[in-house]
Amino acid sequence: MLYRSIEKQKGVSLPRLLVWSGILVFISILGMKLIPAYIEYASIKKTLTSITNDSNLQNATVNEIRQSFNKRAQIDNINVINGRDIKISQKDGRRILTVNYFVKIPLAANISLYLDFDTANSSGY
């Protein structure tokens, strides 16, 4: 009779609890390290979009566009790139702003993640 009641008991053993806790901690740490890089990427995309849609920069020179990006990047706390990293080209009467960069995120000791970001925006001018 005692054997049957023990057999019906369900639960999590200590080793299983430790494994799941370790997995949860690893995923949490990974998320805390990755999310800021993706937030900064979204800020860069937003800044490029606002520059391409700005009517005051319709006939701006390359240096004026880069200065505008630097000012907006300072406001948005973008530290990964600056105006010199923007490639500006023309195609079919449209101005195209392109940014390629990577972010190295150290995890532990000699283990790091490399995130490669690439974005482009074109204006309708």
Two structure tokens written together for 123: 């204006």
In this structure, which long-range contacts are made by residues 14-20, counting pairs with CB atoms below 8 Å and at least 24 apart in sequence? none
Residue ranges of the chain with pLDDT lower than 50?
none
C-beta of residue 45 within 8 angstroms of C-beta of residue 53: no
- Residue 52 has which token pair? 């391409």
Which among 100, 106, 101, 102 is positioned nearest to 32, based on CA atoms? Answer: 106
pLDDT of residue 122: 84
What is the structure's pLDDT at 50? 93
Distance in Å from the first CA to the final CA of the chain = 84
pLDDT (0 to 100) of residue 123: 74
What are the residue ranges spanned by the domains of the chain?
14-122
